[in-house]
Chain A
């Protein structure tokens, strides 16, 4: 069964206000996930309201920062810290910031760039 899934691509500066609208409409934050692209990353903010799945997508170029949505969705802190530590994205105004202490990974920002050996395998 194919679940209907809507993806809205928005600008980074609209992220906070759009999240606030969704919160007001009763959407819960399902997850925040990050995918590396050629020029930076795209970040998916997934929401659900009574099995209506909505995805906000922002594209973030190198050196761009992303605003925290923790003041709208409290649980966002765990995802924002994960993205900051695994992808090396700078997220501003985080209320709860583990400052790189959430992941005890041997490699810092392991998803920071596609490794050269991976490209060779492909």
Chain B
């Protein structure tokens, strides 16, 4: 029997700047068991709800993560709106879709760049992030921010988008699409990339379901599940089908994310075309009294916001179940049996957001 040893991965690792620690139990070069540890930068944002009133907490929710900031604010506001029966105006719903889909494109391009960096393809990494800049520029024009947007508020959105910006959004997407196609072909066809991703970290359909995987991690294993199909914001009025793949390996997860970038571009175009005129926020008064589980599809998968109000300005509870936390069991599964050299790329293929997990 081979001698077992424990290799620590993280909390500081070149491939993953965010702190998660994995104790990898190895037999020779094979990982046979994994013990995860989180909490190195746990910020207690859920606890903070006891001290901040529910209006102020929107700003805290947005700071859960710098990548899905827009959707964190949106999920929290959606929960409060459902508790208080606030119907947001149609224009605000469509603007939320545009903001959310920009976030998805930005997040997936960020992930593709990190993935390229992880297997040492530096030029591909820089090219991918160069394209991402164009999305960040558009988001900055739309919301005023590049990381924390402070754009979504309870009852709607804070900032309207004028016709010239809508037209610019269409123009930039038109220019960006062929450029993303160009880098996509490198990810999907280059022998170097395929060698590192194909057949690595296979998660079967049954395993993905039983381990509670979400988002691209789940859809890459052939499960048709996308929370946008719930029809929140304006998704019910847009035409799209979830992107799924069947291989369940790291390449399938990469393919799903690449296809979702193009799907997001299409959804933004649809939303721009259908954007109704009218107000961007609904007035409301009072405090939330009741509870609601708000569900959204973030770039990394399904996120849950549980909000419980008691009729005062302070909430009793705000809990976020982030997609990275839900994907940890699946990560542990795919790591077991893999080669030590594949560990960094496998951790990356769940697109981990430790900032979300350490809310």
- Chain A residues contacting B211 (CB-CB under 8 Å) are 74-75
Q: Is there contact, CB below 8 Å, between A101 and B35?
A: yes
A44 within 8 A of B: yes
- Give the interface size class of chain A: 35 or more
Q: Is there contact, CB below 8 Å, between A104 and B230?
A: no
Instruction: Give the interface SS of chain B, mostly helix, strand, loop or mixed.
Output: mixed
- Chain A residues contacting B292 (CB-CB under 8 Å) are 5
Residue from B36, B50, B236, B329 within 8 A of A75 (CB atoms): B329
What is the CB-to-nearest-CB distance from A37 to chain B, in angstroms, rounded to a whole number? 9
Q: Is there contact, CB below 8 Å, between B51 and A121?
A: yes
Number of residue pairs A-B, CB distance < 8 angstroms: 90
Q: Is there contact, CB below 8 Å, between B304 and A31?
A: yes
- Chain A residues contacting B38 (CB-CB under 8 Å) are 102-104
B212 within 8 A of A: yes
Bound complex: CA A108 to CA B328 (Å) = 22
Instruction: Give the interface SS of chain A, mostly helix, strand, loop or mixed.
Output: mixed
A51 within 8 A of B: yes
- Chain A residues contacting B40 (CB-CB under 8 Å) are 104
Residue from A3, A55, A74, A114 within 8 A of B329 (CB atoms): A74
Interface string of A98-122 (1 = CB under 8 A from B): 1001111100001100100010011
- Chain B residues contacting A98 (CB-CB under 8 Å) are 35
Interface residues of A (CB under 8 A from B): 1-3, 5, 28-31, 33-36, 44, 46, 51, 53, 55, 73-75, 77-78, 82, 98, 101-105, 110-111, 114, 118, 121-122
Interface residues of B (CB under 8 A from A): 21, 35-40, 42, 44, 46-47, 50-51, 82, 209-212, 229-232, 236, 292-293, 295, 302, 304, 306, 308, 314, 316-317, 319, 321, 325-326, 328-329
